[in-house]
Amino acid sequence: MHQPIDQYAAKLSADKRASVYDGTKSGYDARLRSLNTSYPAPDHLRLLAGRIKQHTIENLDTYLPQVEARLRTNGVKVHWAVDGGEACAHVHRIMEARGAKKMVKAKTMVSEEIHLADYLEKRGMECLETDLGEFIIQIDHDHPSHIVKPIIHKNRREIATSFEKNGLGSYNDDPEVITARARQFLRHKYLAADVGLSGANFVSAESGRIVLVTNEGNSRFSIAATKVHIALVGIEKIVPRDRDLGVFLNLLARSATGQQLTSYTEFIGGARSANQPDGPEEMHVIFVDNGRARVLADDCRAILRCIRCSACLNVCPVYRQASGHAYRAVYPGPVGAVLSPLLAGDEFPEMADLPKASSLCGACNEVCPVNIPIPDLLLRLRDRGKREHSKVAAADTPPMGAFGTLANHPSLWKAAMKTGGLSALYPTFLMPSYGKAWVRTRGMPKWRGGKFRAWMKNRKQQASK
């Protein structure tokens, strides 16, 4: 057990493992109920969504200029960021230009990816999370372990202890009390903030409208009272037309939480107009590349279809046993096992063990609302890890050279199958180390090979009679 994810899983406490398992199972069950009761053939909708997203990412050179032009027509200031540093610098400059010191921030994975909060805090600016789970993560100096449920690894007793430690009331693990205390604390922050920051679940190239979905309404509060709205958007979040949103909004909510639609869905076309009494005076959209163009040029580009629903995390047996922190990156689970190594760029060999964190059972592909062939992508990255001689990828990997020779030489294969029955007589003390580890707690399996050719030969003889 030399791979980092195995070592982390082995040390995970029973409480955390139970929290992760219960949280993922409830999400998976809700998804099944919602999809199967709403659509007679949900797979057709899933395949349609996959085709739309694949078409979009393969034509980003058309859609990105189109969405930029549309946003500028709507009065939105558009910025482009090649990497995380440039994206953070854009946010900092916008805040400085307005003399802003305080930001309230809705949940956005891109901001986690570029470490925006740390960047701003080092420059004397306050960046407060407003999603309840992200807020708890922030006061705990922790990291999200799930894309939709960032505190899936915590139970309410741990959360109550965090609130008490951070001066948010005496110990009380009643969820309603915890929520009320967070609401009371954040309410004043919304009113005092200068800037509201959000991500974007989708951006329509046709209308330039940004779509945000939340269940807490915190993105709405973050934007309503602030004078400046900044949206951090990964370049893959584009959809071609407004009518496509009907497909994705229905699939996203059902795949993420089992809801028909999320509680709040906002369509934002720009800053407030002269006729509107409320809303930000300025709106900025920062399109972030940060390695996505490199992924687009890779044969694993289908991963950019991902709409961050976490359905693949909820169904993955490896994620359920290891939890999100075991993946050592912002994006955990099957989608993270593909996306994180690709986004790592030159540091790919250091993340090349993640594609091996899968049983290749195919469940992640079956539940994916945009039909990403995740098992195929994992196999391609495993091959790349071997070709680039990644040490973390090679750990615990048995040598397959002998098997490759057998599989490519029919006569050798035939001989091996005939003599395989003798393997039960092989002295265990002569086995390699991983073989000894196997037989230490298990018996050698009974040999069942070598019968197919005889069966086929007999079948042909019977058929010819």
Please name each of the domains of the chain with its CATH number: 4-10+293-394 (1.10.1060), 39-290 (3.40.50.10420), 400-463 (no CATH)
Which token pair is 50?
Answer: 């996959």
C-alpha–C-alpha distance, residues 55 and 47, integer Å: 12
**What confidence tier does 447 reach under pLDDT thresholds 50, 70, 90?**
confident
**What confidence tier does 304 reach under pLDDT thresholds 50, 70, 90?**
very high
Q: Which of 122, 114, 95 is nearest to 288 (CA)?
A: 114
CA 386 to chain centre: 24
Yes or no: say if 423 and 444 are a contact pair by the CB < 8 Å rule: yes
Yes or no: say if 284 and 94 are a contact pair by the CB < 8 Å rule: yes
C-alpha–C-alpha distance, residues 340 and 343, integer Å: 5
Phi, psi of 137 (to 5 degrees): -60, -45
Residue 403, pLDDT > 90, answer no
Which token pair is 189?
Answer: 């922050």
List beta partners, residue 282.
228
- The string of DSSP codes covering 226-286 is -SEEEEEEEGGGEES-TTHHHHHHHHHHHHHTS-SS-SEEEEE-SS--TT-SSS-SEEEEE
C-alpha–C-alpha distance, residues 58 and 8, integer Å: 37
C-alpha–C-alpha distance, residues 111 and 61, integer Å: 24
C-alpha distances (whole Å) from 94 to each of 76, 89, 225, 235 are: 13, 9, 17, 20
**What confidence tier does 433 reach under pLDDT thresholds 50, 70, 90?**
confident
Report the pLDDT value the prediction gives residue 186, as an integer from 0 to 100.
93
Residue 105, pLDDT > 90, answer yes
Q: Residues 56-89: pLDDT tens digits?
A: 999 999 999 999 999 999 999 999 999 999 999 9
Q: Model pTM?
A: 0.88
C-alpha distances (whole Å) from 414 to each of 399, 450, 453, 460 are: 21, 8, 9, 18
Strand stretches in 136-208, DSSP E: 195-198, 202-204
Yes or no: say if 93 and 228 are a contact pair by the CB < 8 Å rule: no
Report the pLDDT value the prediction gives residue 267, as an integer from 0 to 100.
96
Report the pLDDT value the prediction gives residue 36, as an integer from 0 to 100.
83
Q: Which of 370, 77, 404 is nearest to 237 (CA)?
A: 370
Report the pLDDT value the prediction gives residue 102, as an integer from 0 to 100.
97
C-alpha–C-alpha distance, residues 300 and 339, integer Å: 9
* CB-based contacts of 109, cutoff 8 Å, min separation 6: 147, 199, 308, 330, 331
Q: Which of 208, 250, 237, 235 is nearest to 307 (CA)?
A: 237
C-alpha–C-alpha distance, residues 323 and 357, integer Å: 11
A 10 A CB-CB count for 381 gives 24
Yes or no: say if 282 and 227 are a contact pair by the CB < 8 Å rule: yes
Greatest mean pLDDT among 274-278, 384-388, 401-405, 441-445 lies in 384-388
A 10 A CB-CB count for 23 gives 22
C-alpha–C-alpha distance, residues 101 and 125, integer Å: 5
CA angle in degrees (0–180, nearest 5) for 109-111-112: 65
Residue 325, pLDDT > 90, answer yes
Residue 1, pLDDT > 70, answer no
CA angle in degrees (0–180, nearest 5) for 250-22-186: 70
Yes or no: say if 327 and 357 are a contact pair by the CB < 8 Å rule: yes
Which token pair is 311?
Answer: 């359905």
**What confidence tier does 43 reach under pLDDT thresholds 50, 70, 90?**
very high
Which token pair is 187?
Answer: 């309410």
Report the pLDDT value the prediction gives residue 170, as an integer from 0 to 100.
94
List beta partners, residue 126.
102
In the block, which residue shows the tokens 């899983």? 9
- Indicate if the alpha-carbon torsion angle 131, 132, 134, 138 is positive or negative: positive
Q: Which of 345, 332, 350, 342 is nearest to 143 (CA)?
A: 332
Residue 444, pLDDT > 80, answer no
Which token pair is 109?
Answer: 């994975």
Per DSSP, the three-state class of 392 is: helix
List beta partners, residue 196.
104, 229
C-alpha–C-alpha distance, residues 226 and 214, integer Å: 18
Least confident among 4-18, 129-143, 220-234, 289-303: 4-18
Q: If you average pLDDT over every residue of the chain, what do you get? A: 92
Residue 378, pLDDT > 80, answer yes
Per DSSP bridges, beta strands 195-198 and 102-105 are: parallel
Q: What's the average model confidence in pLDDT over 40-55?
A: 95
Q: What's the average model confidence in pLDDT over 357-365?
A: 94
Q: Looking at residue 95, what DSSP letter applies?
A: H
